[in-house]
Amino acid sequence: MEVDAVVNGVVDAGHRPSVDRIRALVAGDRPVLVRCASAPADDSGAAAAEVIALISVYAWLGVRFFATDRPRDARQALDMVASIQGTRPPAVARRGLA
């Protein structure tokens, strides 16, 4: 999905909205879209980490659609959030690491 894409039937919360705005939109009956993209000139690791952290927080709050320039990283973050919430099994289960 392009970062500027429009999805029918979805509330577009815009680019990096506040947590209060997300909570209000998620409480409604329509799915929510958040746009999380790093600045075009900023390709640093810190910028990527910031985008993935934002996606993780928004997913935890209930956002279901994301438009980002880092789709693979976003998918891993969304899988991690789903595993922590208990809605999907962990990618790898390890025991006895000590």
SS3 of residue 15 by DSSP: strand
Query: What's the pLDDT at 75?
Result: 95
Q: How many angstroms separate the CA atoms of 68 and 58, rounded?
A: 13
Please give the pLDDT value at position 58. Answer: 97
pLDDT of residue 38: 75
pLDDT of res. 7: 75
pLDDT along the chain (98 residues), means of 10: 70 94 95 86 78 95 93 94 91 77
Q: pTM for this structure?
A: 0.81
Q: Which of 71, 51, 64, 83 is nearest to 22 (CA)?
A: 64
Q: Render 30-89 in DSSP notation, one character per residue.
A: S-EEEEE---TT--SHHHHHHHHHHHHHHHHHT--EEEES-HHHHHHHHHHHHHHHTSS-
Distances in Å between the Cα of 87 and the Cα atoms of 35, 74, 78, 82, 90 are 23, 17, 11, 5, 10
* pLDDT mean across residues, the chain: 87
